[in-house]
Amino acid sequence: MKGTILAVLISFVVMGAAYRFARVRLLHITTMTLVMVFDITFPIYLYLANDWYKRLIEKEQIFSFSIWMHFMLIIVLYTLYVVQIQAGRKLWAGDKDIRQEHKLQGRGIMIARLMVFTTGVLLIIQ
């Protein structure tokens, strides 16, 4: 699990670089796309690498509030990604009025990712 935590921390560094260099559009779009793909495929990796049936069903942790909170935060993160992509496409098309909204959504994504990471680490500790 240390490698998993390290991979997520590296993705935060990549995301921070994308946020920092937002003016370099190609770099920003490429790095954020990589972060989004990482976040979408990461649960698949976790499913393949762990025995979830034993943990969730046999140990009955499926009824745990922390599991459901983590799951709902992931759904919030994915929803923010959809809204962010829509705003980014409008920005790319030349709609300058959407820039502030896009920037605020980016901050929301950072907060949501941090919460997903934190709840994930708490689930590892359990």
Sorted by sequence, the CB contacts under 8 Å of residue 17 that are 6+ apart come out as: 31
Contact 16, 22 (CB under 8 A): no
Say how far apart CA 122 and CA 67 lie, in whole Å. 10
Structure tokens at 57: 């069903």
pLDDT in tens, 16-34: 999 999 899 999 999 999 9
* Longest distance between any two alpha carbons in the chain, whole Å: 53
Specify whether the CB–CB gap between 70 and 118 falls below 8 A.
Answer: no
pLDDT of residue 115: 97
Each residue's pLDDT tens digit, 51-93: 788 878 888 788 889 999 999 999 999 999 999 999 999 999 9
Coil vs helix vs strand at 53: helix
